Structure 1
Amino acid sequence: MTWLWLNDGLVSADAACIAPGDRGLTLGDGVFETMRVAQGRIGHLARHLDRLRQGAEILMFPQPDLDRIEDVLRRVVRHNDMMDGSLRLTLTRGCGPRGVMPPVQPSPTLLVTAAPPPSAPLPPANMIVSTQVRRDEASPLSRIKSLNYLPNVLARLEAARQGGDEALMLNLAGRVAEASASTIVIHRQGRLVTPPVAEGALPGIARAVLLAAGMLDEAPLDLDDLRHAEGVFLTSSLSVREVASLDGVALARMAGMADAIRACVYA
């Protein structure tokens, strides 16, 4: 049996019930975090909790009790006897009346679910540049893990219809922002490079770890930078994946670099 946390306690997945008036369900009014669990340890938990705090602040939620949330996450790991896998934390503004305006004193909903690790590593990605979706680098939502994920969903669907398995989203200026669920990292002239957050890139956890380790630089990127890179990679809290092609054209591959990134992010 898989156990999850919903609001005030652990419940079985079959017994969990989200209220019909929850604003996360009806309006996408919430934030989420996805965390890697390895050997029973939650990876980079402090960074995830800090990003959750920042997201709640931007959405003008009540300040979350991070100590309680940390305890909840650890209880879900223990109760499911998790050694490896992932946790998904969802925080919504909770229930509210019909309409856009939230209640004056919201009661947020906290949901934590657990998932097993993937059965096999992801193969190199065939990435398609989305022509239908752009990342709005001026929007505050570009800096948080918002439940409003439809642009990413539409970009990934567009890629799938063209035979791709990942989508690259440009910003409104036409420069590289991010993939549908990952940070874009390229290797050029001996260094790893990723777009700045100001370009519409989500401040990813793996990205932050690589920056702190001195392995990664920030610079605006365009499509030619990807086409001429020595290697292109997708990084997230759960995976590091090399990109094999962009819009059907093969990209340069760099042996060993994905492993070096993994070693830094998942140490």
Structure 2
Amino acid sequence: MSVVWLNGSLVDQSDARVSVADRGFTLADGLFETIKAVGSRPFWLAEHFARLKAGAAEIGLAIPFSEDRIFDAADRLLAGVASEAQSALRLTVTRGAAARGLWPKDAAQQQPTCVLTVAPSVVMPPQAFVVCRSTCRNERSPLSRIKSLGYGDNILARREAIDRGADDAIMLNTKGHVACATVGNIFFRVDGRWVTPPRDDGILAGLARKRFIAELGAAESSVTTDMIRRSDAGFVCNSLGFSLIKSIDGRDQDQADLPTQAVYSP
């Protein structure tokens, strides 16, 4: 049976219940973190929790459980996982159930919903990318820099990529600069130097991104579409892993050798 941690208790997934009035369901009013684990070892858990707290402060959301309670819940969920199995912990926090309306009148008294789940995680092969045409990233929105539940634009971009015969999409911002892929930060090798978009271009500053910047000596700089065309290699990364870019709009890319063992360590 699949077990989840819901509001402080371990329950079978088939018995887990969240209200239909929960604002995470009705308005995407919440946050999440996705955490890599190998066997019973979660990676970067303290950093994930710190980022969750920062995002919660941005949208005025209370985290209903302490760091220690979350860590204990993660340990309990991972206790039965095989020693070398890779999995993904997902921690989701919403503002909880409320009456209709954009902002609850009793926001300070809201009872947030907190869910922790675990699922198998797979290694991603090199993927074909296209530059997204149907939507863009709003670099001026604070939500672009936190793990908001609102992933509508990313879903549209991924759908476009699939419709165009690719695996994923490169998302631009309103200025036409590269922001990210649909589920991760993106790096390009241009003129022999690795570069990745800066926070001001509407990205979530990922934990793997920080480590790749250090390992590769990558520059944080705006990436134009001309730079994409000049690039000879690239990859996308998030907390669960990375994927090399096989091609962009049909143009093949080199398969770079990346310091992944140094980056993805507990």
TM-score, reference length from structure 1 = 0.92
| 1:80 to 1:16, Cα distance in 2 relative to 1, 3 A | farther
SS in 2 for 1:131: coil
The one-character-per-residue Cα deviations of 1:150-194 (angstroms, maximum 9, x if unpaired) are 110011001111111101110000000000001111123443221
Partner residue in 2 for 1:39: 39
- Superposition map of 1:111-260 within 5 A: 111-118=115-122, 121-213=123-215, 215-251=217-253, 253-257=254-258, 260=259
Unpaired runs of 5+ residues, structure 2, are none
SS in 1 for 2:98: coil
The one-character-per-residue Cα deviations of 1:187-218 (angstroms, maximum 9, x if unpaired) are 23443221001001111111122235563321
1:9 and 2:9 aligned: yes
Q: How big is the shift at 1:74? A: 1.9
Cα RMSD after superposing both structures: 1.7
Give me the whole-angstrom Cα distance separating, in 1, the residues matched to 2:130 and 2:226.
14
1:265 and 2:263 aligned: yes
Q: Give the conservation status (yes or no) of the 8 Å contact 2:246–2:255.
A: no
Unpaired runs of 5+ residues, structure 1, are none
Give me the whole-angstrom Cα distance separating, in 2, the residues matched to 1:246 and 1:195.
17
Q: Give the conservation status (yes or no) of the 8 Å contact 2:135–2:153.
A: yes
Give me the whole-angstrom Cα distance separating, in 1, the residues matched to 2:131 and 2:168.
9
Partner residue in 2 for 1:60: 60
Give me the whole-angstrom Cα distance separating, in 2, the residues matched to 1:55 and 1:16.
25
Give me the whole-angstrom Cα distance separating, in 2, the residues matched to 1:114 and 1:144.
21
Q: Give the conservation status (yes or no) of the 8 Å contact 1:2–1:80.
A: no
Q: Give the conservation status (yes or no) of the 8 Å contact 1:183–1:235.
A: yes
Give me the whole-angstrom Cα distance separating, in 2, the residues matched to 1:81 and 1:18.
29
Give me the whole-angstrom Cα distance separating, in 1, the residues matched to 2:90 and 2:202.
23
Tell which deviates more after alignment, 58-67 or 236-245: 58-67
SS in 2 for 1:225: helix
| 1:220 to 1:113, Cα distance in 2 relative to 1, 3 A | same
The one-character-per-residue Cα deviations of 1:20-75 (angstroms, maximum 9, x if unpaired) are 11100111000001110013211111211111011111110125522322222222
TM-score, reference length from structure 2 = 0.92
Tell which deviates more after alignment, 135-144 or 104-113: 104-113
Consecutive aligned runs of 4 or more in structure 1 exceeding 3 Å deviation = 79-83, 188-191, 211-215
Partner residue in 2 for 1:22: 22
% of aligned pairs identical?
Answer: 39
Aligned residues: 261
